[in-house]
Amino acid sequence: MRTTVGIVGAGPAGLLLARLLHNAGIDSVVLESHDRAYVEQRQRAGILEQGTADVLRAAGAADRMDREGLRHDGIELRFSGRRHRVDFPALTGGRSVTVYAQTEVCKDLIALRLADGAPLLFEAEALAVEDADTDRPRVRFRHRGVEDVLECDYVVGCDGFWGIARRAVPAAAARVFERTYPFGWLGILADVPPSHDELVYARHDRGFALLSMRSPAVSRLYLQVPEGTEAQAWGDEEIWDELERRFATDDDWKLERGPITQKSVTPMRSWVHEPMRHGRLFLAGDAAHIVPPTGAKGLNLAVGDVVTFARALTHLRDTGSAALLDAYSETCLRRVWQAERFSYDMTTLLHPAPGATPFEDRLQLARLERIVSSRAAETDLAEAYTGFPFG
């Protein structure tokens, strides 16, 4: 099998890259180890930055997002029983975010790929990326029990942290930067309308809480829990009671309860692999970087990576210049590190650390007071939350 770009992984990064290349007239093959149902059901991110939504529209992949997605023009910060709304459009010149689950983005992109008749192989396990430092890299894979080889001009690894693409980068050629946090998020899906029309980020002495949503009828909520917590160790009523405590306000706001349909625990870590390119292998998304979910940056960073690659390859084809392709890692990492910085700031702002001293608690509250009392500080948060420029 032969193609111009071999894409390992059919998450939102790999699927969007395939769409961007198709629109540019560049052929590709997508290899995905799981079946279609798994890809369309795995719960991940749900917040699309302004730039991500715009890219999906430009790619012809936003019809359902524009019908069913929820535009949000702000978030609420909640601490010491007080509520403060951050107004995105007023602070950023009109930018907003869209609540639209990653599962739905994948469904839309898969449907477009299949309608185009372009190669998308489910249950195709990538085994190794070979000859990445030559002009003919290849991906060995197993498709429904039969081994095969995909010969490419370029390989893009969109196969996540546990994928095989990054293993083709020699250890001596790479640096890894990492921070692990001593807590995680207990997340639930509940069949109850959201108790607020925008996301609520609550800092409480008992721990952080987040009120989010997947639709007007389905709530997504999170609790800060100790590292290593098992989701099933928490009973349903215990979860609702704790959420109620952490979201408590001095006014008459009320948390609505409903049946919990899913529980999971997400570990919290920051991680970056440099460089994001080795020869003709390019890393994108979680294969190259991970952020804690506090800043809602993971999916959006992956979109930035594949937009950068697609632009660079199109530029090479149209002009003969490889300058943008050669700058891929540097270009992406500038945005990655800004997102890492923002996600770290949001995480340390809102999560009381185990064993934190009273001095550290007061500093957290002072940082929050600064944001709600300074337009400059509030604008910095709003600009970062709604998204850094692509490239």
Active site amino acids = 72, 201, 293, 297, 385
* CA–CA separation, 118 and 30 (whole Å): 9
With CA atoms as reference, report the closest residue to 279 among 156, 125, 183: 156
What token pair was written down for 370? 């600064």
220 phi, psi to nearest 5 deg: -125, 120
User: Under a CB-based contact definition with an 8 Å cutoff, are residues 47 and 57 in contact?
Assistant: no
Q: How far is it, in rounded angstroms, from Cα 25 to Cα 212?
A: 38
CA atoms within 13 A on the CB side of 367: 17
Nearest CA to 287 out of 262, 305, 269 is that of 305
Helix/strand/coil (H, E, C) string of 325-380? HHCHHHHHHHHHHHHHHHHHHHHHHHCCCCCCCHHHHHHHHHHHHHHHHCHHHHHH
